[in-house]
Structure 1
Amino acid sequence: MAQPDLPSSMKAQVITAFNTPYTLITTPLPSLDSPSSSPHDLLIKVSAASYCHTDAVLAAGQMPPYPLSFPHIGCHEFAGTVISSSPNSPEFPPGTRVGVPGRSFHPCGHCFECSTAPDSANPDSDPPGYSVYCPVSINNGISGPGGFREYAVVDARQVTPIPDGLTAVDTAVLMCAGVTVYAALRRCGLEKRRRVAIMGCGGGLGHLGLQFAAKMGYKVIGVDVKDEPLALARDIAKTATETRIVDARVEEAADLVAQLGEEDQKTHRGDMGVDAVIILPESQRAFDYGVALLRNHGKCVVVSFPEKGFHVSARDVVFRDISVAGSLVGSNKVLGEMLAFAAEHGVRARIKTFSLARLNHLVEEYHKGEGGKLVVDMELED
């Protein structure tokens, strides 16, 4: 498969061992003509690559067996421009701007996940032949190389065109953080004007979740425990209708529930609280606080995956009919819907940008825990 005139090498940031800084290297460009190529492959020039919590977990060795080998190129939420494509992907001609999530690169196309058609139980599934849940597909940035490089091969079935009005930097953060929290909100199954709580509301996913939830027409309770993320969340809440930000260090869940009951003129505990809660932090305290906010028959949607898991109270599940569900990113169909929604409603992450060469500075900034999203902008000079 012919490629246009391109440089023979590119810059990439790699980890060579767990718990070590990234190393900037020069490496050959990926090719559409390699033995592992698919007819659906696209070669893109990466414009922006966003740093996710999962990148930190992976680099710390907390996602065995990944990465499968070193050196490893991280980043599973990025965006770029198509340089070369195959006849199988006429909808992505060279010059098309695309957003790229990590899942699902080269799915098998015939397993249960890939062959299951959308139905009433899961109308957001992709058409048969492709699934983000395919057990043998590659995840860019986790089981395979990701976006911390100048060029990348991606699967045309996994990408989505970038709408006008969104930059590559805007889009990159939405390819995991955005679609993950958007899909989690969809998983809550709420009608407009119902209440949803977002635990960890000032983080990368959380501050996007505040915006999506408000634009979806929900009453929103954002909860956090750190000064900087709370400040970010409160700033967002200034322009988000019916959004309340709570510092869990000073306000107990029971007191908040009582206040909501008074607002709703409810007197029985089972009637008071929120209809759904999304758990973003890897904290048992956050989980317990979130579940305590739920009214009877409420839904707890878990996005985070702490190494030791969460303890779930059987009393809540049995006597209060609390349901617990997990949510992992979203289908390609939901990805496109989310990106269009963000473009239309002005959902934007609060972002700090760094050059590719300054990725380790980005990681240092991430560990300060100040909220928002951190992105490598390939247009920035070193």
Structure 2
Amino acid sequence: MIDTSNTVNRVIQYAEPGTTKTQIAELPVEQPGPGQVLVRLSYSGVCHTDYGFCTLKFNNLPIPTPKGQIGGHEGVGQIIALGEGVETPAIGSKVGIKYAADACLSCSNCLEGGETSCSFVKVSGYLTPGTFQQYCLSAARYVTPIPDGLDLAGAAPLMCGGVTVYAALKRVALRNGDWVVVTGAGGGIGHLAIQYAKALGARVLALDAGPKKSFCIGLGADEFVDFMAHGSSEDLISTVKTLTGGGAKTVLMCSSSNKAYAQAIPMLGFRGSLCCLGVPEGENVPIEGAKVTALIDLELSIFAIKTGNRREAKEALELAARGLVKSHYQVRKMEDLTKVSSDTVSNPSDNLRF
């Protein structure tokens, strides 16, 4: 155990929720309580959900994000202290902290693997202090082991973005050769979705703006469609259906655009699935194009997922450790978070260095 009695914890707080303004504060390093571990964080990814929490863009939350909250939910580091009753993970273990900081693990949702929808879930960076800090307390049972050899900075975005797309692909029971359309394919989540889909044997059609083509193809996408180069939604949908031989098996909505959601259903083929990942900001808009007759005729499915559970997180990191998935990121200082958030973190992930 490392003595932290004379150490301060530098944290990033949301200074004025509703804006992107943040502030650096120095707080005492808390000691872990029963069942907890203290993690010395090295990096934290910055997710678009953090931007939503900070700027109060999500209308579905029960209460606004409180002023002074420490955001972040993609943290990686090393355990330096154990609370009472904790035997594993051991001190020195490299671990990650996810969107769900803890869950009851005994309710019906948890027992089905839906830990992020637990009635008692603690969400990192919302009402529970998150990973935009140097020292973070976490439930020992809920940290994720980081495989040996995996780049710590690169592991940070996997704790949410990578886990989320991997869990989505598992849920659709992806089969070898299935076509997966990834919207927002050149972004922070999308670029991981391309790689996880390829690692699981899919063919990938990347959908994004033209300048992202070389990046997406370089990640392994089989086809690329520039949505800005099509004069109408009908033309775009027709192109996607032609390239996928009649429609995709899965459309992963890594974009939060309402227009992109409206175009997604017609891109599906027989027994295709639309997976809702990107969270539209502001007013909730119904998904257009989902006529009941179309759903029935093609036996289509629509489902959503927040992010993965503990097992899916472990599996997602193991694929990355095998070299099948690699995060593309920029490392920035803590003081840069306001600028990073102002840019809405729309492209390959930023990581904060602590």
1:238 maps to amino acid: G
Deviations 1:209-243 (A, max 9, x none): 10111111111111113x55x24xx3242352x62
1:92–1:308 CA distance, 2 compared to 1 (3 A): same
User: Are the counterparts in 1 of residues 76 and 156 from structure 2 also a CA contact under 8 Å?
Assistant: yes
Q: Structure 2 CA distance, aligned partners of 1:66 and 1:24?
A: 24
1:363 and 2:341 equivalent? yes
1:325 and 2:303 equivalent? yes
Deviations 1:291-328 (A, max 9, x none): 22111221111112324133242232233321101112
- Equivalent residue number for residue 321 of structure 2: 343
1:372 maps to amino acid: P
User: Are the counterparts in 1 of residues 248 and 272 from structure 2 also a CA contact under 8 Å?
Assistant: yes
- Equivalent residue number for residue 4 of structure 1: 3
Among 53, 66, 74, the alignment partner of 1:69 is 66
Q: Structure 2 CA distance, aligned partners of 1:55 and 1:176?
A: 11
SS across alignment from 1:345: coil
SS across alignment from 1:17: coil
- Equivalent residue number for residue 235 of structure 1: 215
User: Are the counterparts in 1 of residues 36 and 84 from structure 2 also a CA contact under 8 Å?
Assistant: no
SS across alignment from 1:91: coil
Residue range with higher mean Cα deviation, 242-251 or 204-213: 242-251
Among 236, 259, 267, the alignment partner of 1:293 is 267
Q: Structure 2 CA distance, aligned partners of 1:160 and 1:61?
A: 28
The unaligned stretches of length 5 or more in structure 1 are: 117-121, 262-271
SS across alignment from 2:129: coil
1:311 and 2:321 equivalent? no
1:47 and 2:53 equivalent? no
Q: Structure 1 CA distance, aligned partners of 2:353 and 2:174?
A: 36
Identical counterparts, % of pairs: 25
Q: Structure 1 CA distance, aligned partners of 2:25 and 2:219?
A: 43
1:188 and 2:172 equivalent? yes
User: Are the counterparts in 1 of residues 184 and 190 from structure 2 also a CA contact under 8 Å?
Assistant: yes
The correspondence of residues 225-304 of structure 1 with structure 2, limited to 5 A, is: 225=209, 227-228=210-211, 230-231=212-213, 234-238=214-218, 240=220, 243-251=222-230, 252-261=236-245, 272-304=246-278
- Equivalent residue number for residue 184 of structure 2: 200
Deviations 1:80-136 (A, max 9, x none): 11010136332311111101102042x33543334x3xxxxx5xx38xxxx333211
- Give the superposed CA RMSD: 2.1
1:29–1:66 CA distance, 2 compared to 1 (3 A): farther
1:15–1:323 CA distance, 2 compared to 1 (3 A): same
- Equivalent residue number for residue 94 of structure 2: 97
1:167 and 2:151 equivalent? yes
Deviations 1:143-165 (A, max 9, x none): 21101111000111221111122
Among 108, 113, 118, the alignment partner of 2:109 is 113
Among 75, 80, 83, the alignment partner of 2:80 is 83
The correspondence of residues 112-191 of structure 1 with structure 2, limited to 5 A, is: 112-114=108-110, 116=111, 125=113, 131-191=115-175
SS across alignment from 1:62: coil
- Equivalent residue number for residue 233 of structure 2: none
Q: Structure 1 CA distance, aligned partners of 2:65 and 2:97?
A: 21
Q: Structure 2 CA distance, aligned partners of 1:259 and 1:110?
A: 45
Shift, 1:360, TM fit: 2.0
Q: Structure 1 CA distance, aligned partners of 2:5 and 2:327?
A: 33
1:100 maps to amino acid: I
1:69–1:219 CA distance, 2 compared to 1 (3 A): same
User: Are the counterparts in 2 of residues 298 and 323 from structure 1 also a CA contact under 8 Å?
Assistant: yes
User: Are the counterparts in 1 of residues 206 and 216 from structure 2 also a CA contact under 8 Å?
Assistant: no
User: Are the counterparts in 1 of residues 248 and 268 from structure 2 also a CA contact under 8 Å?
Assistant: yes
Among 178, 194, 217, the alignment partner of 1:210 is 194
SS across alignment from 1:88: coil
Runs (4 or more) in structure 1 with deviation over 4 Å come to none
User: Are the counterparts in 2 of residues 282 and 305 from structure 1 also a CA contact under 8 Å?
Assistant: yes
Residue range with higher mean Cα deviation, 66-75 or 141-150: 66-75
TM-score by length of 1: 0.83
The unaligned stretches of length 5 or more in structure 2 are: 231-235
